[in-house]
């Protein structure tokens, strides 16, 4: 079971991203665009967790207890690697207070259970497209235009199973609610099977 911890953009933000993508598609031969419903922000990639799922879930319970909801915004476009002339991934950057801290706390919780989490720097983003082999994406970045001025609030964190080749590629395994303000009620936890 290959897992990651994710946040999902709101429907209006997904719509704004799709409008920008539609404008850029004609410049983007060689890119595989992510379907809008699959676009997410990965906080921590966990990979194969094997029999550690119960322990991992308990660690994430503790790490997310009392965590506040987040206000996020789209900030820019970018690529991995950072050189647009050799791009393998094209993305929309995301910013928001507490986002880096949340990713760090969740990564530490996973590591404490023995799940090997990569220690590369966290670059909050939503993947829009991939290129194999890497290609020059400078023209596509220009065609996307300025990043949409899009804000949204996040009140949940999902543990997601990645199922490549399945029509329903991502399946939510567990959801944790985040708190709104000091006197708000925590959103209900839920799991799906």
DSSP notation for 36-65: GGG--EEEEEEEE-GGGHHHHHHHHHHHHT
Catalytic residues: 40, 125
CB-based contacts of 81: which residues, under 8 Å, 6+ apart? 87, 88, 134
Are residues 127 and 94 in contact, defined by beta-carbon separation less than 8 angstroms? no
- In angstroms, how far is the first alpha carbon of the chain from the final one? 13
The domains found in the chain, sorted by start residue, are: 2-177 (3.90.1140.10)
Res 12 pLDDT > 90: yes
pLDDT tens figures, 122-167: 999 999 999 999 999 999 999 999 999 999 999 999 999 999 888 8
pLDDT given at position 27: 86
Helices 53-64 and 99-112 pack at an angle, to 10 degrees, of 140
Return the SS3 of 102. helix
* Token pair in block for residue 42: 């990965």
Is 39 a residue whose pLDDT tops 80?
yes
């Amino acid at each position: 079971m290959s897992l990651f911890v994710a946040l999902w953009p709101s429907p209006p933000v997904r719509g704004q991203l799709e409008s920008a993508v539609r404008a850029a598609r004609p410049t983007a031969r060689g890119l595989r665009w992510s379907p809008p419903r699959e676009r997410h922000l990965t906080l921590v990639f966990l990979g194969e967790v094997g029999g550690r799922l119960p322990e991992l879930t308990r660690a994430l319970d503790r790490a997310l207890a009392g965590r506040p909801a987040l206000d996020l915004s789209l900030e820019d476009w970018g690529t991995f690697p950072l050189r647009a002339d050799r791009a393998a991934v094209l993305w929309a950057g995301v910013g928001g207070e507490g986002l880096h801290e949340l990713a760090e706390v969740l990564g530490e919780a996973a590591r404490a259970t023995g799940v090997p989490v990569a220690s590369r720097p966290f670059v909050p983003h939503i993947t829009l497209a991939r290129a194999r082999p890497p290609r020059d994406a400078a023209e596509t970045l220009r065609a996307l235009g300025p990043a949409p001025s899009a804000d949204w609030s996040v009140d949940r964190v999902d543990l997601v199973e990645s199922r490549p080749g399945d029509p329903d590629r991502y399946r939510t395994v567990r959801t944790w609610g985040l708190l709104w303000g000091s006197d708000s009620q925590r959103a209900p936890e839920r799991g799906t099977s």
